[in-house]
Amino acid sequence: MNNLTTPRMERCIGCHSCSLACARLVHKNLSWDTAGIRIVSSGGLSTGFQARVCFACNPAPCATVCSTGAFSQRKGGGVVVKKKLCIHCGECARACPVDAIYLDSTGEPFVCIHCGHCVPFCPHDCLEMVKVQAEPSTEEHTMEVKS
């Protein structure tokens, strides 16, 4: 199981190639919005860029609030999307704590499905697919803090 990560966003040049690739290859759209990854400046262009992308939560708040099963928990984090089941209520986007879900003008949600199509289109290798265990062990989430 692979997850999309964004470990090197300091390198981002703001070309939007990742968003455009996701829209083009996954959703068959020309768009920089209807994509699982969106690039925004982090407070003006002089401060670099951030990726609005799924953090692969497990459990995923967006899946928890989905009342029709359109979003369901993905093994390894994030969600499995079944568009046909979606009623465009928008609860998933409201539940996402990191603004990773885009709702288009009809209320259709767009979220990263961790497929990795965007990765080769980043000219600076900001993005990376990382192998994850389907059931992450608790040790991975434990950090010792020393003062």
Q: How many residues bind other proteins (CB under 8 A)?
A: 29
Query: In whole angstroms, what is the distance from residue 132 CA to residue 46 CA?
Result: 34
Q: What's the full length of the chain, in residues?
A: 147
Q: Which is nearer to other proteins, 18 or 66 (CB)?
A: 18
Q: Which is nearer to other proteins, 43 or 59 (CB)?
A: 43
Nearest residue to 62 (alpha-carbon basis) of 34, 36, 86, 91:
91
| Nearest distance, CB of residue 15 and other proteins, angstroms | 4
Q: Which stretch binds other proteins (CB under 8 A): 16-24, 54-62, 69-77, 127-135?
A: 16-24
**In the set 7, 69, 123, 136, which binds other proteins (CB under 8 A)?**
123
**In the set 2, 9, 17, 129, which binds other proteins (CB under 8 A)?**
17
Query: In whole angstroms, what is the distance from residue 37 CA to residue 46 CA?
Result: 21
Token pair of 47 as six digits = 């401060």
123 in Cβ contact with 32 (< 8 Å): no
User: In DSSP terms, which residues pair with 38 in a beta bridge?
Assistant: 52
Which residues ranging from 37 to 66 are in contact with other proteins (CB under 8 A)?
A: 38-41, 44-46, 48
Q: Does 98 bind other proteins (CB under 8 A)?
A: no
123 in Cβ contact with 13 (< 8 Å): yes
Burial class (CB in 10 A: 0-12, 13-18, 19+), 17: middle
**In the set 28, 84, 141, 146, which binds other proteins (CB under 8 A)?**
28
Chain residues that interact with other proteins, rule: CB under 8 A: 13-17, 20, 23-25, 28-34, 38-41, 44-46, 48, 104-105, 121, 123-124
